[in-house]
Structure 1
Amino acid sequence: MNKRINTLYFSATDTTRKIVTSIAEELAKHREKGKTIRNMDFTLPEGRKAAVSYEEDDVVIIGIPVYAGRVPNVLLKYLNSIQGNGALAVAIVVYGNRNYDDALIELKDILELDGFKVIAAAAFIGEHAFSKILAQNRPDEKDSLFSREFAKQIDKKMTTQVEIQPIVVNGNKPYRNYYMPRDRQGNPVDIRRVTPKTNSNCTDCKHCVNICPMGSIDSEDPSKLIGICIKCGACVKKCPVNAKYYEDQDYLRHKSELEIEFARRREPELFI
């Protein structure tokens, strides 16, 4: 079965991109038409302006990060606009070593409603958006081995199954609510309005302006926000002078709790 290889991903800190492209590159080795991979990055606002459409000859590796155990709600409008038209899809979610909860089953459902045939899915681990030590430097070489082996399994499925069988993934229906941190008394804490601060290290290089997935950092004054913050970690982790940081105590307590409670390494889960 000849298929054109495509990637489609949102990846503010590059973890999802690494996983998705690793799978696509390995899959392309086994496809006659797959020497050229069409990559579609919808991380920045410009990448979400026009909907994308696929055909039956396409196989698309689609990757998103997990936010609070679900598909990020800021991506739903774009994801729902994609036209699958019978193309094959591989659903990938990447989470920060806590849990992917219902994100994978939610993404699978979205893609099927878009007209894709979801033939495989996986939950991989990437360095947590809030932290530089939780799942540090992941995806790593071991994750890369998982992704390459997964691609080989996908290729085998496409090659050997006349009628490609659907898959079942972990998750709940109806989906659980978005995960919320709790304070010391066990009460839910809402950190959605928490925003990053800017210290005196800032050189006004505008790098944070250019990489913010929501286009929310003011180009005239990068210390100001002109839109929502989804706490993706891009401006904090990619600032060349470490000028961006969070000081909200609920956020910092939650970050510390995650780093302690979920320090044990988790491994990818594959569904095929």
Structure 2
Amino acid sequence: MGETERRINAVWFSPTGTTQVVAEVLAQSICRNLGSDAVFKSRSFTLPGEREKPLEFGKDDIVVLGVPVYAGRVPNILLKYLDTMNGGGALGVPVVLYGNRDYDDALIELKDIMEGKNFNVIGAGAFIGEHSFSRILAEGRPDGKDIESVEGFGAKISEKLKVGNINGAVEVKGNKPYRPYYRPRDIEGNFYDFRKIKPKTNDNCTDCKICVDVCPMGSIDSDDVSKFTGICIKCGACVKKCPVEAKYYDDVNYLKHQHELEDENKDRKEPELFI
């Protein structure tokens, strides 16, 4: 590998595919704008087997690290795995994707994680994708306008690299200490624990096993896909990727929260970029 060749890495956790789109488009934009000495690579850590090997990089890497926002923060089920990561002096671009409510402290948290793992953060962004709880909240996003924003952000990062301006601190929105995880309320107005809620399976099911294959926790029983052998993180993968709409939620408090999200967050949010 030549001394000036850079690896532009899109690295992502993306159960429904929206974070993957943003991370890959951003890394590809950086790669394209840097020119022939840049090489694009993409790596998922969405599925359990993909998290068996640590994320390790070096000084010739630029890493776009993308995660969805869960309850206003980096998904807590990823924290242990991200703690095994080693930046090795790589340049880093933390990216979070949220469902048009708010990204709260997720971006500053991901930035702190990367800096604590020996990355030099040179930019950061919060983008919008279809909400994991809904098919209508931020429906179809990231859309064409979002992609234009992602590509433009990649061009700005590339220009920053070309002029060698990589040592200044990147300030992002967020609170320290981080705010607690966002907690919805039940029909009686009390805080409600969503962790035990799991999707149900209706008679449409053809036992195709797609839900088994896409579950990021490996929690759906292959012998009986209506059963769970582990936790459910409400990522929406099994619901949205089922070809016959066999997976659904019927918990009254889940549905209350879903409708509140849809009713209270109709106004389009736009990406927020920091560089």
TM over 0.5: yes
Alignment partner, residue 196 of structure 1:
199
Q: CA–CA distance in 1 between the matches of 2:182 and 2:154?
A: 31
In the TM superposition, residue 28 of structure 1 has moved relative to its aligned partner by: 1.1
Pairwise CA distance, 1:52: 2.0
Instruction: Structure 2: give runs of 5+ residues left out of the alignment.
Output: none
Match of 1:236 among 223, 234, 239: 239
Q: Which structure 2 residues correspond to residues 1-272 of structure 1 after superposition, within 5 A?
A: 2-31=5-34, 32-34=36-38, 36-272=39-275
Name the CA distance, whole Å, in 2 between partners of 1:259 and 1:179.
16
Q: Does the CA-based 8 Å contact 2:13-2:45 persist in structure 1?
A: yes
- Shift of the alpha carbon at 1:163? 4.7
Aligned equivalents of 1:33, 1:12: Cα separation in 2 = 32
Letter in 1 for 2:159: K
Residues 247 and 88 of structure 1, relative CA distance in 2, 3 Å threshold: same
Q: CA offset at residue 75 of structure 1?
A: 0.4
| RMSD (CA atoms) | 1.1
- 1:142-198 Cα deviation digits (max 9, x unpaired): 000000000001001111135532200000000000001013443211111100000
TM-score, length basis structure 1:
0.97
Structure 2 counterpart SS, 1:29: helix
Task: Write the letter of the residue equivalent to 2:232.
Answer: C
CA distance in 2, matches of 1:20, 1:163: 20
Number of aligned residue pairs: 271
In structure 2, give the amino acid aligned to 1:114: K
Give the unaligned 5+ runs of structure 1.
none
* Cα distance between partner residues in 1 of 2:121 and 2:40: 19
Maintained 8 Å contact 2:187/2:253: no
What is the CA–CA distance in structure 1 between the aligned matches of 2:127 and 2:106, rounded to whole Å? 12
AA matched with 1:71:
V
Asked if the contact 1:158–1:164 (Cα under 8 Å) also holds between the matched residues in 2, the reply is no
Structure 1 runs of 4+ aligned residues shifted over 4 Å read none
Distance, in Å, in 2 between the alignment partners of 1:270 and 1:205 is 40
Instruction: Sort the Cα spacing of 1:149 and 1:253 in 2 relative to 1 into closer, same or farther, 3 A.
Output: same
1:121 and 1:163 map into 2 onto residues whose CA distance is 13
Deviation track 1:19-57 (CA, whole Å, cap 9, x = no partner) reads 0111111111122322x3111100000110010211111
Matched-pair contact (CA < 8 Å) for 1:157–1:164: no
> What is the distance in 1 between the residues matched to 2:264 and 2:159?
38
Q: TM-score if structure 2 supplies the norm length? A: 0.96
- Letter matched to residue 253 of structure 2: D
